[in-house]
Chains A and B, each alone.
Chain A
Amino acid sequence: MSTSVLFDLPGPRARRRQLVGTVVGALVVAALVGLALWRLAANGQLQPDRWAVLFDPASGVPQALWEGLLNTLAVAAVGMVLATVLGALLAVGRLSDHAWVRIPVGVVIELFRAVPLLILILFCLLFLPTVGVPMTAFRALVLGLTLYNMAVLAEIFRAGILSVDRGQQEAAYALGMRKTQVMTLVLLPQAVRRMLPVLVAQLVVLLKDSSLGFIVGYVELLRTARSLVEFFNFSFGSQYTFQLYVAAGLIYIIVNVVLSQVARSVEKRTRRSTKAAAAKDVELPADVQMGGGGGPA
């Protein structure tokens, strides 16, 4: 249902009312923004030299933030690649004809989706070293993100494989292909094409979740900002605190918005492509988009 069935096109009176409402609303929003800016200015947060530090290479701030961003992206990239590969394997395993494969794989998927991501990361960080697995914050973060996202992606892939038209599979069997061939040559290529936009969208979720590194002490973007603030507080007082936080937050938002746009354009291309035909409604469920433990318990 498109939104337009909900209401008529506004007539002249309704348009006038809307205009008045818009102006009043805009004034209220502008007043709130103005109030915030005024408080910021009153606290001296808008002085140009405070913001200049973000772009001044001599202060080391741009380099540090860049490094933080790279660390964030590194975790997300490694996690995404591992999660995609393992997720595809798990999806195939869950669709297996053999109960001894299907059931354990199902248990693994459900287990890792049921546990909050932060607990999973803490488990990797705190418990695994006691059984002799060397751990760093980076490894724990990557491992936690991989375990959780592989379980989520496995379910996405499974839905993708099941959504391929049954005739494809039947035709492949009729041609005398084996089960493995049907899966790798016929079903998976179509499912992956169809699921491509969702994969990119999941990358956004994973990137968001990588900010949990802040809590477990991995030097990603937020932790970088925090330690820069602590460093500056030591020598200059809390002069640059707000600016650094805003910068870190904005970088996250910008990177994610860009990725979301990529996901959207990939989706458009997928929709046009005949090879991934009938790719309707490929969108991440709202709870998966939340990250940090989406997916049914």
Chain B
Amino acid sequence: MQFLSDNSDLLWSAFLTTLSLAVVSGLCALVLGTVLAAMRVSPVPPLRGLATFYVEVFRNTPLTVVFFFLAFGIVQIDLQFPSRFLTAVAALSLYTAAFVCEALRSGINSVPAGQAEAARALGLTFGQSLRQVVLPQAFRTVVPPLGNVWIALAKNTSIAAGFAVTDLTAALQRLANANADQLLAVFAAVVAGYLVITLPSAWLIRVVETRVAIVR
């Protein structure tokens, strides 16, 4: 315990890095994923094709490879992120957006066809019926899957440690090297750090789910 309080500064800043990494990339992924989902159901075939292509590529690419390319690859086309943190945010958001899109699409598909038909019968356009009728219902049904994507994202931030972001996992590696006799305490502290993010999220998801659920 002595040792944990000695390193509390490192662990605390690492925890904040992990948390901000998860929050920032979660928000970016949510926006990008929603746009992608709208594209996937849009009337314009090229937009559908583009979104499908994006999702297929990122679903089949390991997150490590995405990181790898953003960290080492895009230098070759004269692009560079201003910081390691932003590289990690970009990789996590690009990757997670594909899964946000998948979750949302399954939500859109679960909205009964009658809703969209009624919206169209009232004369709403595609954009209107999507924005005002289908998506509000879809977002409610996808609270659990989207929440799970967010939790998976929070755990996936650990991969950023492999690319020189000092998050919890990086702190783990550093502390484990320095304190070989305290390994269990180090692991417990780091896992607790992740659980502090994921467990309240899981609880919140359950609360929100019951609050917004549509009884059909």
Q: Which residues of B contact A94 (CB under 8 A)?
A: none
Residue of B nearest to A249 (CB): B65
Stretch in B9-17, B81-89, B100-108 touching the partner: B100-108
- Least distance between A251 CB and chain B CB atoms (Å): 10
Chain B interface main SS type: helix
- Which A residue's beta carbon lies closest to that of B180? A130
Which of A10, A283, A292 gathers most chain B CB within 10 Å? A292
Of B99, B153, B187, which one neighbours A289 at CB under 8 angstroms?
A: B99
How many A-B residue contacts, CB cutoff 8 Å?
204
Asked if residues A6 and B126 are in contact (CB atoms below 8 Å), the reply is yes
Q: Which B residues are CB-close (under 8 A) to A241?
A: 72, 76
Give min CB distance, B142 to chain A, whole Å. Answer: 9
Is B136's CB within 8 Å of the partner chain A? Answer: no
Task: Give Cα A294–Cα B183 distance, bound, in whole angstroms.
Answer: 25
B62–A209 contact, CB under 8 A? yes
Contacting pair A245 B73 (CB below 8 A): yes
Query: What per-residue 1/0 map shows which CB atoms of A8-37 lie under 8 Å from chain B?
Result: 101000100010011001100100000010
Instruction: Identify the closest chain A residue to B163 (Cβ).
Output: A215
B43 touches A252 (CB 8 A): no
B180 partner residues in chain A, CB cutoff 8 A: 130
0 or 1 for each of B131-157: is its CB under 8 Å from A? (1 = yes):
000100000000001001101111110
Supplied contacts A6-B129, A45-B76, A297-B195, 18 more A-B pairs, CB within 8 Å:
A1-B109, A3-B41, A6-B116, A21-B44, A21-B46, A22-B45, A25-B46, A212-B162, A214-B162, A215-B64, A222-B64, A241-B72, A241-B76, A245-B69, A286-B102, A292-B63, A293-B152, A294-B155
Q: In the complex where A119-B172, A211-B65, A290-B96 touch, is A6 in contact with B43 (Cβ < 8 A)?
A: yes
A288 to B61, CA, bound (A): 14
Is A204 on the interface with B (CB-CB < 8 A)? yes
A29 to B46, CA, bound (A): 11
